[in-house]
């Protein structure tokens, strides 16, 4: 029995939610500012929705979405003024291509991140929560805890690095188990 | 381009700046150099940014964002910037959708006479039978097709295995911080203290330089840490006190909790714990494990690791480190007893010394709030203490603190020594909040609402003070009553003599007025409520009256500062002393009118304290009264 053509917002929503962290991560790695990344995600979603009838269910939604996102990023860059801080075309091409190549691997990132966060010491976990769950800036956190900004800043960076390395190790383990 | 060998740290630092939004042009250039120069670095960067993006997405869910953390995606909106690339443009889609096949013809012919001209006779012929059979077959196929679609839709709705969970990874919390008094955390810049009144997770370390911190475990056990102190939460029912002092209280009959099997007492730091079916709260130290048997106790540990336990209530079991030889020594301590354990010298086991408990040396559970109050009294507490002293004054004629009497909410109590005779009766009461938390006030502002008092007193010297918060000024030519004797300038239907009766009020022009009835004198301050900024805030008003046979003298104050006054000219002679009699607070009763049914001249605002002194207070004292009780 051949797959039914996707026809409604529900299917699109389900697919987009499933892959949005990858799409957002992709965009975020290609632009300097968070606000730009959020705008680009909106634009990408708009285009994907409008072209959704061209997407064949069962094919690689993530790869398709990332390509669309990549072109949205490039178009965005053309619209930017010269003095706005942004990455070069070469950077976007290289990072974009590598991300698309890794997109399947990055699909498990959410789950692996949660496992890695379980391993964080309590103090690190609390700090991470303040930064991301409460959405406080490093400066706000430093004021709240009465600690130097540099200490908080370095601690958050260290935690992100720890999580990234943990996730990478987990991905490598998964790769070995698959082969 | 040459990439330095130790580039990981630099890459993470630059990526961190990007995540925190602090990147500058040089950093962008350097990040590009690193990322473009090395594929491994590029992949590290991609993973790091994806971790950050994932965390952003998970963390901010619910704050006006859709799709769990990201900006709400409005599929109906075209931003105008989204570009659709035309078909045939160089878009590399790894898996192009296959060319669509035309929809198959339906498996049965349509029943239309236009398509199938009917031979005559048609019905009953083999063609008709064939057509009917085909229709039936087609309907059956349609039914099966619909069922298959439903089945696929059901699968499509089921969440994918890798669908992200919205729940945060689970930390094990064992309680919360429920009290803090002057807490100063460790000076170590690498120690990150918890947020105030946070939940307490397992393995969390609390390092205080000074102050008091209370932790309430979910089991109900309470621990007060007294800095300097290092305490680590080891389980749902206990912790490790490496240094310092704590008091623990576990009421008897507490429901049992799974607790960690305590580590060996001589282990300096806790390792991963094992859940153990023991139900008792414990405190581990470098030299002992103190297990609660339904009690309150204190523990202190010095830098040498010597532990001393003091029992305030009930009993505890104290187990000593055995130094690896034989069963550890276990003793029980009762009320008023202490046990001190020191590391053994020269390889010997620890030594135990029994003594008396030092209860006074510990902050007991239940004392924290009171201590906090003493060290940092709230405005209400400070006011209460001040108010209590004020009542002792001999010259205090009446003192209304405007604190609601729960036994009778229609009464405004007179707290001066003159007592209940000057209690007020509230008409249409509206109890509201006063000038700080816990302080009550009465709101005035509509006809019939006010407080009736009767103070049949004459005074040659008088000071009236009140805390007032105005919402609005009265309409011209009216006034808002602060304290007004009944009636005005007439003998009144009761034929009483109103001469000298006090009218203290706020006029429509923002001035404060003090008038003695029957043309006995009239005085106003300069305009003090003359702009919107004065409304909606608490102000302290005062007026001082001093009788003189020829002229009397009046002085006005606002917030402890002089705002007008002078000699009060009496139209009528002889001058009269000030008097009260029947009066109202917050309004005026026109007793001239026998048909008057309700009070008028309402004050448009709140009063939360009013005092009447039968003396002329000095400016300095009025200022002091203002300062003592200002919000």
> By residue range, what is the domain housing residue A85?
9-105
Among A residues 80-119, those touching chain B with beta carbons less than 8 Å apart: 85-88, 90-91, 94-95, 98-99, 102, 106-111, 113-115, 117-118
Confidence of residue B172 (pLDDT cuts 50, 70, 90): confident
Comparing CB atoms, the residue among B15, B36, B52 nearest residue A90 is B36
A4 found inside a domain: no
- Can you give the pLDDT at residue A93? 87
Confidence of residue B110 (pLDDT cuts 50, 70, 90): very low
B70·A38 Cβ contact <8 A: yes
Task: Indicate if B493 and B572 belong to the same structural domain.
Answer: yes
What's the pLDDT tens digit per position in A135-152? 788 888 888 888 888 889
Task: Indicate if B361 and B489 belong to the same structural domain.
Answer: no
A46·B193 Cβ contact <8 A: no
B35·A114 Cβ contact <8 A: no
Task: Indicate if B441 and B392 belong to the same structural domain.
Answer: yes
CATH of the domain at B243: 2.60.120.1440
The ipTM (two decimal places) reads 0.91
Task: Indicate if B252 and B394 belong to the same structural domain.
Answer: no
The larger pLDDT score, comparing residue A107 to residue B520, is at A107
- Can you give the pLDDT at residue A81? 65
| Domain limit, last residue, from A81, A105, A129 | A105
Nearest CA in chain B to A84: B25
A1 found inside a domain: no
> Which residues does chain A have within 8 Å of residue B195's beta carbon, measured at their own beta carbons?
126, 130, 144-145
Q: Which of B146-160, B184-198, B462-476 has the lowest mean pLDDT?
A: B146-160
Number of domains in chain A: 2
Task: Indicate if A32 and A80 belong to the same structural domain.
Answer: yes
Task: Indicate if A141 and A60 belong to the same structural domain.
Answer: no
A3 found inside a domain: no
- Kindly tell me the number of DSSP H helices and DSSP E strands found in chain A: 9, 0
CATH of the domain at A58: 1.10.1740.10
* Cα-based torsion angle of the residue sequence B523, B526, B530, B533 in order, rounded to the nearest 10 degrees: -110
- Can you give the pLDDT at residue A175? 81
Number of domains in chain B: 3
Rounded CA separation B262/B275 (Å): 9
Task: Indicate if A25 and A97 belong to the same structural domain.
Answer: yes
Nearest CA distance, B304 vs chain A (angstrom):
27
SS3 assignment for B76-92 = CCCCCCCCCCCCCCCCC
Confidence of residue B284 (pLDDT cuts 50, 70, 90): very high
pTM for the whole thing? 0.51
Report the residue count for chain A. Answer: 179
| Domain limit, last residue, from A105, A121, A153 | A105
Q: Which secondary structure element, helix H or strand E, spans residue B370, and what is its range?
A: helix B368-375
First-to-last CA distance in chain B? 67
Confidence of residue B239 (pLDDT cuts 50, 70, 90): very high
- For B84-91, which contacts have Cβ atoms below 8 Å and span 24 or more sequence positions? B84/A47, B84/A50, B84/A51, B85/A71, B91/A67, B91/A71
Task: Indicate if B499 and B548 belong to the same structural domain.
Answer: yes
The pLDDT of residue B572 is above 80: no
Q: For B224-237, what is the mean pLDDT? A: 94
Using the Cα atoms of residue B5, residue B8, residue B9 and residue B13 in order, give the sign of their dihedral.
Answer: positive
Rounded CA separation A67/A23 (Å): 10
Among candidates B343, B339, B319, B342, which has minimal Cα distance to B329? B319
A47·B42 Cβ contact <8 A: no
B310 found inside a domain: yes
Task: Indicate if A95 and A62 belong to the same structural domain.
Answer: yes
- Can you give the pLDDT at residue B621? 96
CATH of the domain at A151: 1.10.10.10
A60·B95 Cβ contact <8 A: yes
Task: Indicate if B413 and B529 belong to the same structural domain.
Answer: yes
Task: Indicate if B570 and B489 belong to the same structural domain.
Answer: yes
Tokens of B415: 């707290």
Task: Indicate if B330 and B476 belong to the same structural domain.
Answer: no
Rounded CA separation B337/B113 (Å): 108
Dmax (CA) of chain B: 134
Task: Indicate if B289 and B423 belong to the same structural domain.
Answer: no
> Which residues does chain A have within 8 Å of residue B23's beta carbon, measured at their own beta carbons?
32, 85
Check: CB of residue B538 under 8 Å from CB of residue B487: no
Q: Which secondary structure element, helix H or strand E, spans residue B206, and what is its range?
A: strand B205-217
A2 found inside a domain: no
Nearest CA in chain A to B50: A25
- Can you give the pLDDT at residue A156? 92
B169·A115 Cβ contact <8 A: yes
Check: CB of residue B83 under 8 Å from CB of residue A75: yes
Chain B interface disruption, residue of A9, A11, A45, most B CBs within 10 A: A45
Chain A interface disruption, residue of B8, B23, B82, B234, most A CBs within 10 A: B82
Q: How many CB pairs under 8 A join A and B?
A: 247
Task: Indicate if B450 and B354 belong to the same structural domain.
Answer: no
B56·A132 Cβ contact <8 A: yes
Nearest CA in chain B to A60: B95
Q: For B249-273, what is the mean pLDDT? A: 47
Task: Indicate if B328 and B186 belong to the same structural domain.
Answer: yes
Task: Indicate if A77 and A16 belong to the same structural domain.
Answer: yes
| Domain limit, last residue, from B368, B394, B416 | B368
Nearest CA in chain B to A122: B204
Confidence of residue B273 (pLDDT cuts 50, 70, 90): very low
Among candidates A161, A135, A123, which has minimal Cα distance to B21? A135
B108 found inside a domain: no
Rounded CA separation A114/A128 (Å): 12
Check: CB of residue A53 under 8 Å from CB of residue A66: no
B344 found inside a domain: yes
> Which residues does chain A have within 8 Å of residue B44's beta carbon, measured at their own beta carbons?
164, 168
Rounded CA separation A17/A19 (Å): 5
By CB neighbour count within 10 A (0-12 exposed, 13-18 middle, 19+ buried), where does B609 fall?
A: buried
A32·B23 Cβ contact <8 A: yes
Q: Exposure pattern of B233-247 as b/e (b: 16+ CB <10 Å)?
A: bbbbbbbbbbbbbbb
Confidence of residue B109 (pLDDT cuts 50, 70, 90): very low
Task: Indicate if A113 and A98 belong to the same structural domain.
Answer: no
Q: For B457-463, what is the mean pLDDT? A: 92
Confidence of residue B140 (pLDDT cuts 50, 70, 90): low
Rounded CA separation A157/A159 (Å): 5
**Residue B184 Cα distances to B104, B193, B194, B207, B229, angstroms:** 77, 10, 12, 9, 11
Tokens 């009216």 appear where? Answer: B478
Comparing CB atoms, the residue among B23, B39, B52 nearest residue A160 is B52
- Can you give the pLDDT at residue B111? 34
Task: Indicate if A68 and A18 belong to the same structural domain.
Answer: yes
The larger pLDDT score, comparing residue B84 to residue A61, is at A61
Task: Give the list of residues 6+ apart from residue B443 with CB closer than 8 angstroms, or none.
Answer: B430, B431, B432, B605, B606
Radius of gyration (C-alpha) of chain A in whole angstroms: 19
Rounded CA separation A49/A55 (Å): 10
Q: Which of A133-137, B89-93, B406-410, B524-528 has the lowest mean pLDDT?
A: B89-93
- Can you give the pLDDT at residue B328? 65
Q: Which secondary structure element, helix H or strand E, spans residue A117, and what is its range?
A: helix A109-118
Task: Indicate if A17 and A80 belong to the same structural domain.
Answer: yes
Nearest CA in chain A to B25: A85
| Interchain contact A70–B (C-beta under 8 A) | no
Q: For B86-94, what is the mean pLDDT? A: 33
Task: Indicate if B406 and B348 belong to the same structural domain.
Answer: no
Q: How many CB atoms lie within 10 A of CB A86?
A: 20
DSSP-based three-state secondary structure for B510 = coil
Nearest CA distance, A173 vs chain B (angstrom):
16
Rounded CA separation B470/B464 (Å): 18
Q: Which of A74-83, B229-238, B268-277, B349-358 has the lowest mean pLDDT?
A: B268-277
> By residue range, what is the domain housing residue B36?
1-52
> Which residues does chain A have within 8 Å of residue B47's beta carbon, measured at their own beta carbons?
106, 109, 164, 167-168
- Can you give the pLDDT at residue B618? 96
Mean pLDDT of chain B: 77
| Domain limit, last residue, from A56, A82, A105 | A105
Nearest CA in chain B to A162: B48
Q: What percent of chain B has pLDDT over 90?
A: 40
B16·A147 Cβ contact <8 A: no
Q: Is the N-terminal amide bond of B574 cis, ω within 30° of 0? A: yes
Task: Indicate if A54 and A93 belong to the same structural domain.
Answer: yes
B94·A88 Cβ contact <8 A: no
DSSP character string of B532-590: GGGTTSEEEEEEEEE--SS-EEEEEEETTEEEEEEEEPPSSSS---EEEEEEEESSB--
Pairing of strands B282-284, B238-250: parallel
Task: Indicate if A100 and A115 belong to the same structural domain.
Answer: no
B43·A67 Cβ contact <8 A: no
Chain A interface disruption, residue of B14, B192, B232, B240, most A CBs within 10 A: B192
The pLDDT of residue B428 is above 80: yes
Rounded CA separation A65/A60 (Å): 9
Chain A interface disruption, residue of B53, B144, B152, B185, most A CBs within 10 A: B53
Task: Indicate if A65 and A97 belong to the same structural domain.
Answer: yes
Nearest CA distance, B356 vs chain A (angstrom):
38
Q: For B356-380, what is the mean pLDDT? A: 87
| Interchain contact A79–B (C-beta under 8 A) | yes
- Can you give the pLDDT at residue B97? 36
B610 found inside a domain: yes
B21·A56 Cβ contact <8 A: no
> Which residues does chain A have within 8 Å of residue B27's beta carbon, measured at their own beta carbons?
none
B3: phi then psi, degrees, rounded to nearest 5:
-100, 130
Tokens of B527: 């305009």
Helices (H), ranges, A4-88: 9-28, 34-50, 61-79
B218 found inside a domain: yes
Task: Indicate if A74 and A127 belong to the same structural domain.
Answer: no
Check: CB of residue B485 under 8 Å from CB of residue B582: yes
By CB neighbour count within 10 A (0-12 exposed, 13-18 middle, 19+ buried), where does B91 fall?
A: middle
- Can you give the pLDDT at residue B164? 35
């Amino acid at each position: 029995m051949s797959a039914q053509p996707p026809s409604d917002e529900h299917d699109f929503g389900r697919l987009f939610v499933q892959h949005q962290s990858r799409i957002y991560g992709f965009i975020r790695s290609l632009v300097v500012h968070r606000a730009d990344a959020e705008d680009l995600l909106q634009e990408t979603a708009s285009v994907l929705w409008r072209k959704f009838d061209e997407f064949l269910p069962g094919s690689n939604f993530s790869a398709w979405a990332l390509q669309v996102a990549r072109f949205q990023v490039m178009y965005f860059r053309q619209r930017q003024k010269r003095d706005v801080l942004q990455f070069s075309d070469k950077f976007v091409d290289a990072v974009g291509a590598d991300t698309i190549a890794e997109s399947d691997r990055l699909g498990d990132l959410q789950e692996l991140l949660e496992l890695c966060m379980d391993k964080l010491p309590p103090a690190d976990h609390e700090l991470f929560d303040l930064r991301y769950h409460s959405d406080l800036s490093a400066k706000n956190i430093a004021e709240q805890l009465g600690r130097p900004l540099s200490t908080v800043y370095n601690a958050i960076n260290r935690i992100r690095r720890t999580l990234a390395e943990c996730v990478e190790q987990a991905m490598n383990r998964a790769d070995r188990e698959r082969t | 381009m040459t990439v330095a060998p130790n580039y990981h740290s630099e890459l993470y630092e630059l990526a961190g700046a990007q995540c925190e939004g602090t990147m500058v042009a040089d950093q962008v250039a350097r990040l590009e150099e690193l990322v473009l120069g090395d594929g491994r670095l590029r992949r590290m960067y991609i993973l790091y940014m994806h971790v950050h993006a994932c965390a952003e997405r998970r963390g901010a869910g619910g704050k006006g964002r859709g799709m769990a953390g990201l900006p709400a995606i409005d599929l109906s909106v075209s931003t105008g910037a989204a570009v659709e690339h035309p078909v045939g443009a160089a878009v590399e889609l790894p898996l192009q959708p296959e060319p669509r096949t035309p929809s198959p013809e339906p498996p049965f012919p349509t029943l239309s006479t236009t398509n199938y001209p009917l031979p005559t006779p048609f019905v009953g012929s083999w063609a008709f039978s064939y057509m009917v059979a085909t229709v039936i077959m087609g309907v059956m196929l349609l039914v099966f097709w619909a069922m298959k679609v439903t089945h696929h839709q059901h699968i499509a709705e089921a969440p994918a295995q890798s669908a992200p969970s919205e729940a945060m990874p689970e930390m094990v919390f064992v309680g919360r911080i429920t009290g803090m008094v002057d807490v100063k955390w460790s000076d170590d810049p690498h120690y990150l203290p918890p947020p105030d009144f946070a939940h307490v997770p397992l393995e969390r370390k609390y390092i205080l330089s000074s102050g008091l911190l209370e932790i309430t475990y979910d089991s109900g056990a309470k621990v007060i840490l007294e800095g300097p102190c290092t305490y680590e939460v080891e389980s749902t029912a206990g912790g490790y006190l490496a240094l310092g002092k704590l008091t623990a209280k576990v009421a008897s009959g507490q429901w049992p909790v799974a607790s960690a099997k305590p580590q060996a007492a001589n282990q300096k730091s806790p390792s991963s714990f094992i859940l153990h079916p023991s139900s008792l709260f414990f405190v581990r130290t470098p030299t002992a494990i103190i297990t609660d048997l339904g009690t309150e106790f204190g523990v202190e540990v010095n830098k040498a690791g010597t532990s001393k336990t003091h029992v305030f209530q009930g009993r505890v079991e104290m187990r000593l480190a055995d130094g690896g030889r034989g069963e550890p020594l276990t003793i029980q301590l009762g009320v008023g007893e202490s046990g001190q354990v020191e590391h053994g010298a020269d390889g010997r086991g620890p030594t135990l010394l029994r003594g008396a408990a030092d209860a006074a040396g510990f902050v007991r559970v239940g004392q924290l709030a009171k201590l906090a109050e003493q060290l940092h009294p709230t405005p209400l507490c400070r006011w209460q203490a001040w108010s209590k002293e004020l009542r002792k004054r001999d010259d205090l004629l009446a003192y209304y603190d405007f604190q609601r009497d729960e036994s009778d909410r229609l009464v405004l109590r007179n707290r001066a020594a003159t007592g209940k005779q000057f209690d007020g009766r509230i008409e249409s009461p509206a109890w509201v909040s006063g000038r700080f938390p816990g302080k009550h006030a009465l709101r005035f502002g509509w006809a019939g609402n006010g407080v009736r008092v009767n103070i049949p007193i004459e005074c040659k010297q008088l000071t009236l003070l009140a805390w007032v918060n105005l919402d609005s000024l009265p309409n011209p030519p009216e006034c808002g009553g602060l304290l007004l004797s009944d009636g005005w300038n007439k003998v009144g239907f009761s034929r009483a003599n109103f001469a000298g009766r006090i009218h203290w009020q706020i006029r429509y022009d923002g001035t404060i007025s003090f008038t003695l009835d029957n043309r006995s004198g009239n005085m106003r301050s300069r305009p003090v409520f003359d702009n919107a900024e004065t409304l909606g805030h608490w102000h302290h008003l005062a007026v001082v009256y001093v009788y003189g046979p020829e002229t009397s003298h009046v002085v006005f104050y606002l917030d402890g500062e002089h705002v007008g006054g002078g000699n009060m000219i009496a139209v009528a002679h002889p001058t009269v002393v000030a008097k009260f009699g029947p009066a109202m607070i917050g309004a005026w009763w026109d007793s001239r009118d026998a048909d008057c049914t309700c009070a008028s001249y309402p004050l448009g605002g709140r009063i939360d304290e009013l005092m009447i002194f039968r003396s002329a207070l000095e400016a300095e004292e009025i200022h002091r009264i203002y300062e003592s009780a200002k919000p």
